[in-house]
């Protein structure tokens, strides 16, 4: 059972004036930070670019969640400008996704001519740990997306889940074949996905695709 329903924790008694939205993002950041520490160590230890890219992606996700806390605060303080505030936040989140996507592309290009030794087994272990952290964050956010702010948070984590699965696949292929090119190919594919998600989020923000905040249904 997910702990969040319609942007509020289950059992929320005062949905009109609670701090559920900010608390949800803060809890997701905590999970993300712990995952980030483990994955970053794993990326350097295994020598995997795709795992380091996943860590960089997770760092951006945490920054985006921090931004969402500030957006939620501004919405509470200036509720009559909610649509505009959430749209701006959506654009900023889209920009963050695009930045990490571009960084992965550049790093992958530089590695094509300078291959690194990759420990496929350890890469797999740390990628699985990262995937577990991603799913924990997604569970915290819940299934519904009452605002574009919440939708952007879900898109960040969903894209990270896809990336983690891709890294796991690359790790298996590297461990079996010894071909380190899989690490770079997965990195390039993931960067394309990030840029695509960035564009989708920007379009959703332009349309003002969000619903007014609603109370928790008991």
According to the model, what pLDDT value does residue 10 have?
A: 62
Handedness of CA 55, 170, 151, 32 (dihedral sign): negative
Q: Which residue has the tokens 């059972």?
A: 1
According to the model, what pLDDT value does residue 210 have?
A: 46
According to the model, what pLDDT value does residue 216 have?
A: 41
Handedness of CA 191, 102, 149, 141 (dihedral sign): positive
Which residues of the chain fall short of a pLDDT of 50? 209-218
According to the model, what pLDDT value does residue 1 have?
A: 58
Strand partners, 9: 4
CA nearest to 57, candidates 127, 116, 145, 139: 127
The residues, ordered by sequence, that sit 6+ positions from 180 with a Cβ below 8 Å of its Cβ are 115, 116, 117, 118, 174
Task: Report in angstroms the alpha-carbon separations of 114 from 108, 111, 181.
Answer: 10, 5, 11
* Rounded Cα gap, residues 57 and 206, in angstroms: 24
According to the model, what pLDDT value does residue 175 have?
A: 84
User: Is the whole-model pTM more than 0.85?
Assistant: no
Q: Which two tokens stand for residue 144?
A: 């519904």
According to the model, what pLDDT value does residue 186 have?
A: 79
């Amino acid at each position: 059972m997910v702990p969040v329903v319609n942007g509020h924790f289950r059992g929320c008694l005062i949905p009109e004036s609670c701090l559920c939205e900010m608390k949800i993002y803060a809890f997701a950041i905590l999970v993300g930070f712990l995952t980030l520490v483990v994955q970053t160590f794993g990326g350097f230890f295994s020598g995997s670019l795709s795992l380091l890219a996943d860590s960089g992606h997770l760092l951006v996700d945490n920054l985006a969640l921090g931004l969402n806390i500030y957006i939620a605060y501004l919405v509470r303080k200036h509720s009559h400008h909610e649509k505009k505030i959430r749209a701006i936040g959506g654009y900023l989140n889209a920009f963050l996704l695009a930045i990490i996507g571009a960084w992965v592309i550049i790093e992958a290009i530089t590695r094509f001519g300078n291959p690194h030794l990759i420990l496929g087994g350890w890469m797999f272990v740390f990628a699985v740990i990262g995937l577990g952290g991603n799913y924990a964050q997604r569970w915290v956010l819940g299934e519904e997306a009452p605002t574009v702010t919440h939708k952007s948070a879900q898109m960040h984590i969903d894209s990270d889940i896809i990336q983690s699965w891709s890294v796991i696949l690359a790790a298996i292929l590297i461990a079996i074949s010894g071909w380190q090119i899989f690490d770079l190919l997965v990195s390039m594919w993931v960067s394309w996905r990030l840029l695509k998600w960035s564009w989708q989020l920007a379009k959703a923000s332009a349309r003002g695709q969000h619903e007014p905040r609603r109370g928790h249904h008991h």
